[in-house]
A and B are shown apart, each in its own frame.
Chain A
Amino acid sequence: MSASMETTGIQPGEITAFLTDSTLCIGCKACEVACKEWNELEQDGLTLSGFSYDNTMALGHSTWRHVKFVEGTPEPGLGGNAPQQLSWEFSSDVCKHCEVAGCLEACPTGALVRTEFGGVYLQPDICNGCAYCVVSCPFGVVQKNEEDGRAFKCTFCTDRQKDQLQPACAKACPTESIKFGRLDDLRAHARERLETLHARGMHDAQIYDPTDTSVKGIHSMFLIRGEPETYNLPPRPEVPTVYLKEGWRSAAIQGITLIAGVALSFLAARAKRNEVQA
């Protein structure tokens, strides 16, 4: 049996993206397995969290795809002995590869870079484990591996993209819930899909792509049902560099206060001594 090596035809310089469509996800976790397989990530526990069928609850240094199992409020069934109806949505989470990325801005070593495909890539040979990206990601994606000492996150399978192959998770997805392609194409596709879903009566479907915040949009968009909070997707993510201006202004004023305070204190002490001597 020969492997299917369908190429994407996407050249470096073109911006790529994921569109993860929750309405097509069946919660099989093939994306998680494929990601670990291709990227040689360690297993992070085969235990269940107890919250539906979720294993890890969040993305982390060894979990770059994470399937969320969203159980809603049970509704009473209709008539007779009908059981309660449970809404059960699945959604495969991944690094958002932000247009303006908090981790990338915060990285002091240049380990985090923007790739030729517009993704955010962490170069493990440059990362020094300062863990500043960990607190700078508004989506809580990047994590430091305490044993290894460096931070890790989704690479967007940049290595595969260079060979015109789609990322491992997208390739393994059996329902095309995870779509990979050019950012503009997928944005258009997402809008079309949303119209279709709305037309079918799925009025709570929406696209998660926070373009109106300082993050200025993401390269891994999500099609979800209901509100983003349910999926732990922040409605208003902000890139932490927006706080810099206020912080440095305050720091500058304090810096001047330090110098002035030291100068005035020693000046005043001298004046007092001269007074005593005189």
Chain B
Amino acid sequence: MEVLESADIRELKLDAIRREAKEKGIVEAPGIRPVGSPFPIASPQTGYYGHHLLKEPQWTELIPLYFFVGGATGSLGAIGALADLISEEKDVALTARWMALGGAALSGVLLIIDLGRPSRFLNMLRVFKPQSTMSMGSWVLSGFSASAGMASFADLLHQFFGPTVAGQILGALGRAGSALFAMPFHNYTGVLIGATAIPVWNSHVAQLPREFGMSGLQSATSLLELAGYESRTSLNLLGLLSSATETFEFARELAKPNPREEDAPLRKGASGALVTTSAVLSGPLPLGLRIAAMVAPKRHRRKLRIAAAIAGVLGSLCLRYGWVKAGAVSAQDWKLPLRRNG
């Protein structure tokens, strides 16, 4: 930038005054104007110097990862609890149960690292508070982990001692608990961020649990396919269900004629890029690949299914990071919390 001498600035001002007098016939602005003016002001139009009111989320980068792991784990729990009850796919169910147990353990580890000390997680279990989604989530995670543990312990008993009464009771309890807790566990994180003061989150409070849940189901399906079950029709149907839903959500978002102000972080900038990438990776891309796998010649089917599964996992990861990043951007928008209607 060219550095102007004070004399230059004063000459420029004279020019401006002459121009204004010539064009308008009157000089409205005051003659004395300090260098650097106009200064920032606080007003109903500019807020408090445009400084944002809300605080940004202060979670570590592990929290969106936890959202991903939790979503997949909950859905794996549901698959593990139900698959071999209604069909003979015992192998898929057994793998899903072990993966659910591993996911539950990993969830705990991620949360503890975020909090800093293991004992801090126990503070979560001091109270049971329905109006706090964080409290509910802690109990749901604990209940799910205990159920997944029981179900897998029953599997171990079965493996070493065959059918036993204790094993069957433990297994039934574990599976019932897994299926029950899987419902909130695979998508409560959508309610968690939805019921906050962050505008982009609370304006999507109904959409978030649906999208997070379907994304969790998609990643669970994809992870099972990547674990060696890429030829199962059951998993492809689940993959079709979740990718079709995500495609529908994506199309609906694109079709919005007038995006709201609070939607901006979902469309623009780094957060917008992540959210859009996640929509493509979890919606149209795996949907197309899965349909292709159904009609393609047999030798290509495996590759198409694997590609769909990889897209699904990456899409789910991008979705969590995209939404959390969008929340940070939204919190920095000083205008949104100062609106009078909305």
Contact = CB atoms under 8 A, between A and B. Distances in A.
Nearest to B34: A84
Interface stretch (B3-11, B75-83, B249-257, B260-268): B75-83
B161 interface: no
A115 B29 CA distance: 54
B115 A130 contact: yes
Contacts of A140: 52-55, 197, 331, 337
Given A84-B32, A105-B132, A266-B86, A135 B337 contact: no
A160 interface: no
Interface stretch (B167-175, B234-242, B312-320): B234-242
B158 interface: no
A3 interface: no
A255 B121 contact: no
A174 interface: no
B44 A230 contact: yes
Interface stretch (B14-22, B123-131, B272-280, B303-311): B123-131
Given A130-B134, A137-B197, A246-B206, A267 B121 contact: no
A236 B30 contact: no
Nearest to B240: A265
Given A231-B48, A266-B234, A246 B205 contact: yes
B209 to A, nearest CB: 4
Given A102-B197, A247-B206, A234 B127 contact: no
Interface residues of A, number: 84
Interface string A111-150: 1000000000000001111111011111111111010010
B179 to A, nearest CB: 6
Interface stretch (A35-43, A184-192, A268-276): A268-276
A227 B78 CA distance: 53
B159 interface: no
B340 A262 contact: no
Interface stretch (B101-109, B149-157, B210-218, B282-290): B210-218
Interface string A213-253: 00000000000001101111011111011011011111111
Nearest to A88: B42
A227 to B, nearest CB: 4
B115 A128 contact: yes
Which 4 A-B pairs give the minimum distances between C-beta atoms?
Answer: A255-B183, A269-B234, A108-B135, A251-B209
Interface of A: 51-52, 54, 57-58, 68, 70-74, 76-77, 83-84, 102, 105-111, 126-132, 134-144, 146, 149, 226-227, 229-232, 234-238, 240-241, 243-244, 246-259, 261-270, 272-273
Given A246-B194, A258-B213, 4 more contacts: A57-B51, A108-B132, A108-B138, A255-B186
Interface of B: 29-30, 32, 38-44, 47-49, 51-55, 57-59, 74-75, 78-79, 82-83, 86-89, 115-117, 120-121, 123-124, 126-127, 129, 131-135, 137-138, 179, 182-184, 186-188, 190-198, 201-202, 205-210, 213-214, 217, 232-235, 237-238, 241, 327, 331, 334, 337-341
19 contacts: A109-B124, A109-B135, A128-B124, A136-B196, A139-B53, A149-B116, A243-B202, A244-B133, A247-B191, A250-B210, A251-B190, A254-B186, A258-B74, A258-B75, A262-B75, A268-B234, A269-B87, A269-B233, A270-B87
